[in-house]
Structure 1
Amino acid sequence: MIKCNPHKTDLGPMVEAGRAHEHWCVADNYRTRLMAPGQPVLFWVSSHPRRGIWGAGQLAGTPVPGPQWKISTNITLFDEPILASDIRSIEELSMLEVFRSPQQSNPSWIDASAWEIVRTLLPD
Structure 2
Amino acid sequence: MPVTLDDLGAWLLKGNADSTDLSGRFAHEPRVRGWCVRPGYRARLMAAGQPVVLWASGSRGRLPYGVWGVGRLTGPAVSDGDGWTVPLDLTVLAPDDRVRREILRADTRLAAAEVLRQPQGANPSYLTVAQFAALRDHLPPV
Q: TM-score, normalised by structure 2?
A: 0.80
Q: Which residue of 2 aligns with 1:97?
A: 114
Q: Distance in 2 between matches of 1:55 and 1:15?
A: 13
* Gapped regions of structure 2 (runs ≥ 5): 1-11
1:9–1:23 distance in 2 versus 1, CA, 3 Å: farther
Amino acid at match of 1:96: A
SS at match of 1:76: strand
Residue 72 (str. 1) matches residue 87 (str. 2): yes
Q: Decide which of 74, 80, 83 is 1:60's aligned counterpart.
A: 74
SS at match of 1:121: coil
Q: Which residue of 2 aligns with 1:26?
A: 37
* Percentage of pairs with the same residue: 37
Shift of residue 56, structure 1, vs aligned partner? 0.3
Q: Distance in 2 between matches of 1:19 and 1:6?
A: 17
What is the Cα-based RMSD across aligned positions, in Å?
1.4
SS at match of 2:102: helix
* Gapped regions of structure 1 (runs ≥ 5): none
Q: TM-score, normalised by structure 1?
A: 0.90
Q: Distance in 1 between matches of 2:45 and 2:137?
A: 24
